[in-house]
Amino acid sequence: MNVDDISRVTVLGAGNMGHGITEVAAIAGYHVTMRDIEQELVDDGYESIEWSLQKLSEKGLVEEDPDAVMDRIDTEVDLETAVSDADLVIEAAPEQMELKKEIFGDLDEFTPEGAILASNTSSLSITEIATATERPEQVVGMHFFNPPVKMDLVEVIYGAETSDETAEATYEFVESIGKTPIYVRKDVNGFVVNSVLGPFGDEAGWMVSEGAATIEEVDAAMVHRRGYPMGPFELGDLTGIDIGYHVRKEAGKDVPPVVQEKVDAGDLGQKTGKGYYDYEDGEGTTYE
Ligand code: 3HC
């Protein structure tokens, strides 16, 4: 598969990452099918894209009429229908290896012969995901960052059997949607960015759990003194506290109590209205 052969893209998942990736690809001119397991999830994702496109359009960041971009997006619940004519599938399902393998097994059965099968996993092994298929050379990591419409970087990750042809077409696809790809040439846990971001979040979590500083103090320090766009807790609320939690669990790491408490309470960040900060009443971050 060459990048010029890619015209139909299917994104599996309509959550934060799935709908964001769908939007980015549609803005770039691709026809995209966004699929999730329930109509309600698909509808929520679709509405989030409408909201986002409106915002981008008001700021002059998207030239085309938002309706014209939306016209390139189809939604679907049935997996086979969603992928049966896809040139590229980007899976953005929850971070559970067994689930990903089940999906890739189905993709092996339902997608056209030459299709590229990409996973947006944050940290799971591409090599292991690919074992669910008979075509591991066509399986690749394509890791976007949250929020995809704003974040420039995309990691293109080689599994042990990913072919150069697949990785190169994926890299060029990323360029074609206006993003900046980097190759991650070894399927290491966390790839490049999460390997570095993990200890950042971990240190912050342990520090607060041990009472050395408050959530607000850590976030303020990193934003005001270090110049980061967001502190580690604010970032956790944006990406979803459960995402970092599962990454830690998969890596066999201990979870700081402050993180465990939020996961146990179901307070997972902006998407649930509450995380380290409270978004339900519109207050949001409280550090200054
Ligand atoms: N679409 C359109 N507009 C959006 C939007 C979206 N999806 N999300 C936010 N906005 C809008 C807001 O509503 C706000 O609009 P307003 O100006 O009308 O109020 C505006 O964008 C926010 O703009 P700001 O000027 O406050 O913020 P910036 O645009 O400068 O930056 C940011 C926002 C890009 C999120 C920046 O804070 C940032 O870079 N944060 C760090 C994000 C990061 O590190 N992400 C990676 C996380 S790790 C990850 O994803 C890996 C995964 O595996 C877990």
Domains located in the chain, CATH noted: 3-184 (3.40.50.720), 194-272 (1.10.1040.10)
286 CA distance to ligand 1 middle (Å): 17
Indicate the top mutation candidate among 46, 55, 124, 248 to test ligand 1's pocket, ranked by most ligand atoms within 8 A of CB: 55
Q: Which of 124-138, 220-234, 238-252 has the lowest mean pLDDT?
A: 238-252
Q: Atom 38 (ligand 1): residue with closest C-alpha?
A: 229
Q: pLDDT per residue over 249-284, tens digit each?
A: 877 889 999 999 999 999 999 999 999 999 987 778
What ipTM, to 2 d.p.?
0.93
277 CA distance to ligand 1 middle (Å): 16
Please list, in sequence order, all residues whose beta carbon lies within 8 angstroms of the beta carbon of residue 227, skipping any fewer than 6 positions away.
Answer: none
Please list, in sequence order, all residues whose beta carbon lies within 8 angstroms of the beta carbon of residue 25, skipping any fewer than 6 positions away.
Answer: 9, 11, 32, 177
pLDDT above 90 for 247: no
Of the candidates 278, 287, 282, the one whose C-alpha atom is nearest the C-alpha of residue 222 is: 287
Residues with CB under 6 A from ligand 1: 52, 55-56, 122, 145-147, 149-151, 194, 197, 229-230, 235, 239, 243
**Average pLDDT in the chain:** 95
Q: How far apart are CA 65 and CA 119, in angstroms?
A: 30
Beta strand pairing call for 88-91 and 139-143: unpaired
pTM of structure: 0.91
Please state the rounded mean pLDDT for residues 149-177: 97
Task: Say if CB 30 and CB 72 are below 8 A apart.
Answer: yes
Q: Atom 5 (ligand 1): residue with closest C-alpha?
A: 52
Please compute, for residue 87, the number of CA atoms within 13 A of its CA located in the half-sphere on the CB side: 15
Q: Atom 4 (ligand 1): residue with closest C-alpha?
A: 52
pLDDT above 90 for 248: no
